[in-house]
Chain A
C-alpha cells in the first residue's frame, strides 16, 4: 500500500518490494531443520558455534592444567598438548567467534534491525549454515583419525605443519585444511547475503546513516571477511596440494634424518604472508561486530544517544580499511627487511587513532547518562575496560623493538586473549542478555546473570593480568613444560598454578550461564514487549517475539535514527525509529507538530 510522507509532500513507495519472495515452510523439517528463515538459521549457527566453543573451552582447561601443574596429568602428553592448543585456538577464533558474530547475530539482527522480511537470498543462507555444520563435523572428525588432529599451532605454519615430527601431520592437518576451506565457502554464501541485504533491502526511510551501529559493525566485518578469507582459502588449498600431491608451494628443501625429502624450493614465508593477510583482518572481523553491538547496548542502557555517531561509523570503516595494511606486524621475527617492519609498525600505530576515538565516544556516551546497571550494561562497561587494556598492550607489541623480545612469550598470549578473546566474548554475553527476551519472549534470571558477570569479569582479569607478568619474565608460549630455567624465578610456577585455578572457575561460571539460558527459555519471567525501552526496529515488530516474515502485512517506515533517547519535551524517554512524527506524545499531552 502506498503511503503519504509525514510532511504530506510526496509519494512514498509501497511497503512490499516485488523482488521479495518470502519463503514459506511447508513441513516441520523445512521449518526447523532445512529452514530458510534467517531467525532460525541464526539460532542454528549460534547453537553449533556455542557447542564447538564449549569443546574449545574444555581444551583450554586441559592446556591450563598442564601449564599449572606439569607432570600431574599423564593423559596430557606432549603431542596431546600441542593438539589441544592448536584446536583451542582455531575453534575459538574461526568456528566460535566468527560464526557466532556473523552467522548468529548477523542473521538474527540484520533483517529485523533494517526492517526487512528476511535475507535477500534465503536459500543460499540456509546452505551457508549447513556447509558450516559440515566444516565443524570435519574438524571434529580429525579427533578420531590415526595420529589425531593437527598440533601445528593455530597458525599452521609450514613446513612443520605437514612434516612427520608434528602431531597430526597425516590426516589431521588435511581435515583441518578441508574444514577451513568448507568454512570459507559456507561463510561466503552467508556474507553475500549480509552485504546485499544491508545495501539493498532496508526499510523505507532507513538510510545508511540511520542504521544502528550493530549493523554497521556486522556489515563492515562481513566485507572484511569476504576480502580476507580468500587469502586463507588460497593458503589452505596450496598447503593441501603440498601435503597430498607433493608440490612445493610452501615447502623448502628439507633433509630429515639424513634423507632428502621430495620437497624443494618452496617458500614458507609466503604462507605466513597469506595467513596473516587473513589473520589480522580476522581480529577486526571479530572486533567490529562487538564494537557495534556494545555501542547499541550502551546507548539503550544509558538512555542517551551514542556520542559522535558519524565518527563511530567512519571509525568502523577506517579500522576496516587499515586492518589490511598491518598484517606483517605478526611477522617481525620472520627476518623481514627493517624498513618493512617500520612501515607496519607505523600503520599499526595509526590504527590506534580510530580505535581510541571509539573508546572515547563510548565513555562520553556514559557521561551524564541515565545509566541502568542491568546485566547487559555491566558486560558492555566491562568490555570498554578490557578492550582498552588489551588495545594498549597491542601498542607495545606493534613496535618492533618491544615486540622482538616479547615475541613468543606469555605476554603475547595475554594480549590477544584480552583484546580478541575476553573483550568480544563479554560483548557476546551482554548481547545475549540484551536480546534473549526478543528471541524467546522471556527474561534471563538477573541474579544468576550478575553472578555470571562478576565471576567472569574478575576471573578473566585473574587469568590475564598475571600472564602479562609471566611474559615479562620470559616465560615462553607453546612450551609443554618449562623444565629447569635460570632466568625464570621459581614463583612463576606458583603464579601459573593460580592462573589455572582462575581459568577453571571462569569456565564453570559459563556453565551457570548455559543453565540460565536453558532454564529461562522455558521458565523465565515473561518479558514485556520492549523490556529495555529501545528505539531500534527489532523491538517494534507486530508479533513478539517476531513471527514469520517479521513485519505482518506491511514493512515498517523509518522516520529517524536509532538513538532518540531523553528528547526534551517528549513524554517517553525514547522514540522508536518507526513511530510517525505526528504520533510522538509530548509532555503537554499534545502530539508533536
Chain B
C-alpha cells in the first residue's frame, strides 16, 4: 500500500483483514538509516538549491564579474566522478558477496575524495594568487561559499566512510557491512550531482 493510499484509510471502521493491519508498521520498505540519509539529503539539497537561487538572483546585478575557472577544477571533477563510481562498484561487489574487491574499491574511493579536497584547496590558492578574493566581487564570494559548503559535506561523508571501512575490516561476512557501503555510495552520488550542478552553474554563467 503506498503512502497516499495509507492516508485514505478510515481508521474508525473495523478492518476486514486485521492481520494485514497488524503486520504493517513501516511506511516505506527501507532500512531506518537509509531513510534517515535520504531525509538528510533532502535538507542538504534545499540548502544548495537556495544558494543556487541566490546566485542566480545576484548575478543579474551590473557589478557581477564572472570568475575565471582554473583548469584544475576539471581534474577535480574527474577525481570526484571516479570516486563516486568506485563507491558504486564497491556496493555492487558487496551485493555479490565479493569481499576483497569491495574493500579495495571502498578504500580507493575514500582516498580519491581526499585528493579532491586537496585539489579544491589548490584551486582556492590559485584564485587568491590571481587576486580573486572573496570580497572583491560577489561572484568570487559565491564561489568560495559554494566550494566550502560542498567540501564540508564531503568531510562529513569521509567520517562515515571511515566507519564503513572499520565495519568492513571487522565483518566476518561482507553482507554485514553492505548497508554502510550502500549509504556511502548514495551519499557520494549526491555529492557528485551537487558538484556537477555547481560547476555547471559556474561555467555557464
Which residues of A does B touch, CB under 8 Å?
A: 5-7, 9-13, 19, 120-121, 188, 191-192, 195-196, 199-210, 226-227, 229-231, 233-234, 237-238, 241, 245-249, 262, 264-267, 270, 274, 277, 305, 309-310, 313-314, 317, 557-561, 563
Say yes or no: A199-B43 contact (C-beta < 8 A), given A209-B7, A248-B138: no
Q: Quick check: is B155 within 8 A (CB to CB) of the other chain?
A: no
Q: In the complex, what residue of chain B is closest to A203 when comparing beta carbons?
A: B25
Contacts of B10 in A (CB 8 A): 209, 310
User: How many Å lie between the Cα of A430 and that of B171 in the bound state?
Assistant: 51
> Which residue in B11, B18, B61, B134 is a CB contact (below 8 Å) of A245?
B134
Q: How far is A202 from B28 in the complex, measured between Cα atoms in Å?
A: 12
Chain A residues, Cβ within 8 Å of B7 = 208-209, 310, 313-314, 317
Q: Contact: B54 with A200, CB < 8 Å?
A: no
CA distance A188 to B37 in the complex (A): 12
**Which residues of chain B are near A207, meaning CB under 8 Å?**
6, 9, 11, 21, 24
Residue from B28, B33, B42, B47 within 8 A of A199 (CB atoms): B28
Contacts of A270 in B (CB 8 A): 54, 57-58
Closest residue of chain A to B62 (Cβ to Cβ) is: A265
Interchain CA distance A267-B60 in the complex, whole Å: 11
Is B196 an interface residue when CB atoms closer than 8 A count as contact?
no
5 A-B residue pairs with CB within 8 Å: A7-B18, A12-B23, A204-B25, A226-B39, A313-B7
Which residues of chain B are near A226, meaning CB under 8 Å? 39, 42-43
Besides A246-B134, A266-B58, 20 new A-B residue pairs in contact (Cβ under 8 A), listed by A number: A7-B19, A10-B19, A12-B23, A19-B32, A120-B36, A192-B36, A200-B35, A201-B32, A208-B27, A227-B43, A230-B50, A231-B50, A247-B134, A247-B135, A249-B141, A262-B135, A267-B58, A274-B50, A310-B10, A560-B11
Residue among A7, A19, A234 with most chain B CB within 10 A = A234
For the complex, is B111 an interface residue (Cβ under 8 Å from A)? no
Take A120-B32, A200-B27, A205-B24 as given contacts and tell me if A233 and B61 are in contact as well, using a CB distance cutoff of 8 Å: no
> A202–B26 contact, CB under 8 A?
yes
- Contact of B23 (CB < 8 Å), options: A13, A209, A310: A13
* In the complex, residue of chain A having the shortest beta-carbon distance to the beta carbon of B30: A200
Known: A196-B36, A226-B42. A204 touches B22 (CB 8 A): yes
A10 touches which of B20, B25, B28, B142 (Cβ 8 Å): B20
A6 lies within 8 A of B18 (CB): yes
The interface residues of chain B lying within 8 Å CB-to-CB of A558 are: 22
Residue of B nearest to A201 (CB): B32
Is B46's beta carbon under 8 Å from chain A? yes
Kindly identify, within residues 107 to 130 of chain B, every residue whose CB is under 8 Å from any CB belonging to chain A: none
A557 to B138, CA, bound (A): 58
B31 at the interface (CB under 8 A from A): yes
- Is B73 at the interface (CB under 8 A from chain A)? no
Task: Enumerate chain B residues within 8 angstroms of A10, measured Cβ to Cβ.
Answer: 17, 19-20, 23
* Residue in contact with A19 in the complex, picked from B20, B27, B31, B149, CB distance below 8 Å: B31
A201 to B25, CA, bound (A): 7
Interface size on B, residues (CB 8 A): 48
- Given known contacts A192-B40, A238-B54, A310-B10, is B47 in contact with A247 (CB within 8 Å)? no
Cβ contact within 8 Å between B46 and A227 = yes
Query: What is the chain A residue whose CB lies nearest that of B3?
Result: A208
**B21 smallest CB distance to A (angstroms):** 6
Whole-angstrom CA separation of A204 from B145 in the bound complex:
46
The distance from the CB of A467 to the nearest CB of chain B, in whole angstroms, is 35
Interface assignment of B51: CB less than 8 Å from any CB of chain A: yes
Which among B17, B21, B51, B138 is the interface contact of A266 at CB below 8 angstroms? Answer: B138
Query: Chain A nearest CB: distance from B33 CB in Å?
Result: 8
Chain B residue contacts of A199, Cβ below 8 A:
26-28, 35
B23 A204 Cβ-Cβ under 8 A: yes
| Chain A residues with CB under 8 A of B24 | 204-205, 207
Nearest CB of B to A169, in Å: 18
Of B18, B32, B134, which is within 8 A of A9 by CB?
Answer: B18
B12 interface contact, C-beta 8 A: yes
CA distance A9 to B39 in the complex (A): 36
A367 to chain B, nearest CB (A): 17
A177 → chain B closest CB, angstroms: 14
Q: Report how far A558 CA is from B23 CA in the complex, Å.
A: 10
Q: How far is the CA of A314 from the CA of B70 in the complex (A)?
A: 51
Q: Which residue of B lies closest to A251 (CB)?
A: B138
Contacts of A274 in B (CB 8 A): 50, 54
Q: How far is the CA of A209 from the CA of B12 in the complex (A)?
A: 9
* A277: B residues at CB distance < 8 A: 50
- Complexed CA–CA distance, A267 and B142 (Å): 13
Q: Within residues 47 to 77 of chain B, which ones have a CB less than 8 A from any CB in chain A?
A: 47, 50-51, 54, 57-58, 61-64
* B6 A267 Cβ-Cβ under 8 A: no
- Assess the A205–B145 pair: CB atoms within 8 A: no
Closest 10 CB pairs of A and B: A10-B19, A5-B19, A247-B141, A561-B11, A265-B63, A246-B135, A209-B9, A199-B27, A230-B46, A230-B47
